[in-house]
């Protein structure tokens, strides 16, 4: 959840800067139309699958209706995720390669902060998962 919240935060920030007419964001332009149309469904199903998952966890027992919505959100999210990943993976490889090249790192401020935020979100995710391990026990005991 923390890495996903970081991702929704950063893309939400870009969205807000674009629609408040911030120069460099307007210059970069919006995502390609199909990705732009899919984004709201991707955000809603991401929040849906995580929220119903946590709700099931806290409920501690099987709720058919909640499980139905959890699966529904997951199937829609999964289909969008596959497209999102295939479309953007090449760009991620390119941007990571250029970001890591030291010349670039010096030219682009904030790389330290980005690295720290990503590391912190992954660390928080691992800590959250470990702290909730016992809560999952109920499900295993069925
Ligand atoms: C739960 C997982 C994820 C969510 C909720 C998510 C959400 C989003 C959203 C809402 C956008 C902005 C709209 C758009 O450009 O399509 C976006 C952009 C993007 N995503 Fe994801 N994403 C996820 C996972 C990934 C993964 C795994 C990759 C790696 C391949 C990725 C790479 C990108 C890239 C490269 C952009 C464009 C960023 C830019 O142009 O500034 N995303 N994502």
Ligand 1: which of 42, 50, 97 to mutate, judged by most atoms within 8 Å of the beta carbon?
42
The Å distance, Cα 3 to ligand 1 centre, comes to 12
CA proximity to 37, closest of 84, 3, 90, 95:
84
Q: How far apart are CA 142 and CA 140, in angstroms?
A: 5
pLDDT at residue 75, rounded to an integer: 98
Q: What is the pLDDT along the chain (142 residues), one digit of tens a residue?
A: 999 999 999 999 999 999 999 999 999 999 999 999 999 999 999 999 999 998 988 887 778 889 999 999 999 999 999 999 999 999 999 888 877 776 655 666 777 888 899 999 999 999 999 998 887 766 666 5
Q: Is the CB of 13 under 6 A from ligand 1?
A: no
Tell me which residue range forms the domain holding 7.
2-94+110-141
- Is residue 115 one of the residues assigned to a domain? yes
- Is residue 8 one of the residues assigned to a domain? yes
- Is residue 104 one of the residues assigned to a domain? no
CA proximity to 44, closest of 55, 52, 54:
52
Q: What is the DSSP string of 45-106?
A: HHHHHHHHHHHHHHH-S--HHHHHHHHHHHHHHHHHHHHHHHHHHHHHHHHHHHHHSHHHHH
Local structure of 23: helix, strand or coil: helix
- Is residue 75 one of the residues assigned to a domain? yes
- Is residue 43 one of the residues assigned to a domain? yes
The Å distance, Cα 130 to ligand 1 centre, comes to 26
- Name the residue with tokens 């950063």: 10
Which atom of ligand 1 approaches the CA of 4 most closely? 1
Q: Is the CB of 16 under 6 A from ligand 1?
A: no
- Is residue 74 one of the residues assigned to a domain? yes
pLDDT at residue 115, rounded to an integer: 87
Both tokens of 85, joined, read 């990943």
Ligand 1: which of 11, 26, 27, 30 to mutate, judged by most atoms within 8 Å of the beta carbon?
11
CA 111 remoteness from chain centre? 19
Q: How many domains does the chain have?
A: 1
- Is residue 99 one of the residues assigned to a domain? no
> In sequence order, what are the residues at sequence separation of 6 or more whose Cβ sits closer than 8 angstroms to the Cβ of residue 3?
118, 121, 122, 125
pLDDT at residue 107, rounded to an integer: 62
pTM: 0.86
Q: Is 52 left (phi over 0), alpha (psi -120 to 50) or beta?
A: alpha
- Is residue 89 one of the residues assigned to a domain? yes
């Amino acid at each position: 959840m923390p890495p996903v919240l970081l991702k929704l935060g950063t893309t939400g920030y870009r969205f807000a800067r674009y629609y408040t007419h911030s120069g460099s964001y307007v210059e970069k332009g919006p995502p390609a139309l199909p990705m732009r149309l899919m984004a709201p469904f991707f955000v809603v199903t991401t929040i849906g699958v995580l929220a119903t998952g946590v709700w099931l966890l806290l409920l501690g027992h099987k709720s058919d209706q909640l499980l139905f919505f959890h699966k529904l959100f997951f199937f829609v999210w999964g289909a969008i995720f596959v497209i999102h990943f295939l479309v953007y993976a090449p760009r991620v490889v390119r941007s990571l390669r250029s970001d890591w090249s030291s010349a670039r790192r010096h030219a682009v401020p904030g790389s330290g902060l980005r690295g720290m935020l990503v590391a912190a979100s992954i660390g928080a995710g691992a800590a959250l998962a470990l702290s909730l391990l016992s809560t999952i026990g109920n499900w295993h005991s069925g």
